[in-house]
Amino acid sequence: MNTEKIIEANYNIACRTGLHCAPLGHEQLGTAKIHGSVRFAIGPFNTEENIQTAIQAVKEVAQSQKK
């Protein structure tokens, strides 16, 4: 299961993974081989708690994928 699906299923947070129209940038960063990055959009109705939950979700998923 990819990062996007894990975050959506386990944390109920919408996000997108990929190269986000910047494949050369991801090649330079070395992230192209791991399918890029995770992108979140924050809007006026998001709370500080929503943002902290998203940060925690990324940390937990990253740690679980290192194993």
pLDDT of residue 24: 83
Residues 6+ apart with CB under 8 A from 32: 19, 23, 26
Structural domain of 31: 3-66
pLDDT tens track for 27-64: 888 877 777 788 899 999 999 999 999 999 999 998 98
Number of domains composing the chain: 1
Q: Which pTM value belongs to this model?
A: 0.73
Alpha carbons 30 and 57: distance in angstroms, whole number: 22
State how far Cα 32 lies from the chain centre. Answer: 14
User: SS3 for the chain, per residue?
Assistant: CCHHHHHHHHHCCCCEEECCCCHHHHHHHCCHHHCCEEECCCCCCCCHHHHHHHHHHHHHHHHHHHC
